[in-house]
Amino acid sequence: MMRGMGNMQGMMKQVQKMQKEMVQAQDALNEKEFTGVATNELVKVAFTGDRRMKDVEIKPEILDPEDPEMLQDLVVMAVNDALTKIDTETEKTMGKYTKGMPGF
């Protein structure tokens, strides 16, 4: 009977270790900066791994009062590029902890 309890304690320690590693990995990911760009880097955006925008850079040559839709499209393109990079890095970093778990 005690042998089963020892296995359970060992398994609990492994789970706690994995949880700690997951938190550390998520914290590191959240601090990392991701840059998204649009055509010819006319618009650049910077996000942290927790999807918080830190910066947006718009090159002056793209500012055309006659065509605001072009700037809007470029901003959307740059934001989506950054978010895709975050998703890719998140899957690469956190995927090893969630593979095979239900709902992941």
The tens digit of pLDDT for each residue in 15-65 reads 899 899 999 999 999 999 999 999 999 999 999 999 999 999 999 999 999
CB 64 within 8 A of CB 70: yes
15 in a domain, yes or no? yes
Strands 43-48 and 53-58: antiparallel
Number of domains within the chain: 1
12 in a domain, yes or no? yes
- Token output for 38: 């649009």
Give the pLDDT confidence score for residue 61 in this predicted structure.
94
The residue range of the domain holding 79 is 2-98
103 in a domain, yes or no? no
Residue 82 and residue 67: Cα distance in Å, rounded? 24
Q: Provide the CATH number for the domain around residue 50.
A: 3.30.1310.10
Give the pLDDT confidence score for residue 8 in this predicted structure.
86
